[in-house]
Structure formats: C-alpha cells, structure tokens
Amino acid sequence: AQSVTQLDSHVSVSEGTPVLLRCNYSSSYSPSLFWYVQHPNKGLQLLLKYTSAATLVKGINGFEAEFKKSETSFHLTKPSAHMSDAAEYFCVVMDPRAGRRALTFGSGTRLQVQP
C-alpha cells in the first residue's frame, strides 16, 4: 500500500520569500512522485515529477523538489514566492507497476502569498 502525508494544510508566506511545502510518502516499492497545483475551480496542473532519475527535480514556474529516500520525503520549494503562486498544492504518489497507474493524493496544502 502507498500513502502520502502533506504536513501542513495551510502555508502563508510573503511575496518574495521562500516557499517550502512538505510531503512525506510511504511505499513498499520505488515510487513515482509528483507535485500538482490547483487554482480555484480548475483542474490540476503538473508542476514536476520524480521517476527514479535525478533526485533533485526542477519543475515549472521556478519550483523544485528533492527526493530523499532516507527521509521518505519529497518537499516542494521555490526561492521567491509570487502572488500568482497562491493555490492548492497536492503531493501525489503513483503505483508504477504495469497495468495500474492510479494516483494517491495527499490532503493538499493551501499556499497563501501576502503582498
């Protein structure tokens, strides 16, 4: 079985300051991990993905995440927050075994960016 825990339901930062959204996972095999962003009343947009290649993954809009197997973590970071980053962020683990690609979602972290 696999699971994902997003440690913070809400994160508030000031514009221009760093962003850290925390995610821990549990999996009995080598997982594929993703971060998605959801703006209000919209679907999910892929920010970045980890699929057992480089442990530091760079995504869109200046976001990156580091896969740390020893800590079972996949935290999302950005050096400088923009107002447009305010949204809901989901950490997701995927079962890569053949024939099954359903996703397990974390509970989400709402990022607020203060001016």
Partner 1 sequence: GAVVSQHPSRVICKSGTSVKIECRSLDFQATTMFWYRQFPKQSLMLMATSNEGSKATYEQGVEKDKFLINHASLTLSTLTVTSAHPEDSSFYICSAAGDRGPNQPQHFGDGTRLSIL
What residues make contact with partner 1 under the rule CB under 8 A?
Answer: 32, 34, 36, 41-46, 49, 51-52, 90, 94, 96-98, 101-103, 105-108
Instruction: Please identify, using beta-carbon distances, which residue of 70 and 102 lies nearer to partner 1.
Output: 102
Instruction: Please identify, using beta-carbon distances, which residue of 15 and 38 lies nearer to partner 1.
Output: 38
* Closest approach of partner 1 to the CB of residue 82, in Å: 21
Instruction: Please identify, using beta-carbon distances, which residue of 43 and 115 lies nearer to partner 1.
Output: 43
* Closest approach of partner 1 to the CB of residue 108, in Å: 5
Q: What is the 3-state secondary structure (H, E, C) of the chain?
A: CCEEEECCCEEEEECCCCEEECEEEECCCCCEEEEEEECCCCCEEEEEEECCCCCEEECHHHCEEEEECCCCEEEEEECCCCHHHCEEEEEEEECCCCCCCCEEECCCEEEEEEC
Instruction: Please identify, using beta-carbon distances, which residue of 25 and 106 lies nearer to partner 1.
Output: 106
Pair of tokens at residue 5:
């825990």
* Closest approach of partner 1 to the CB of residue 91, in Å: 10
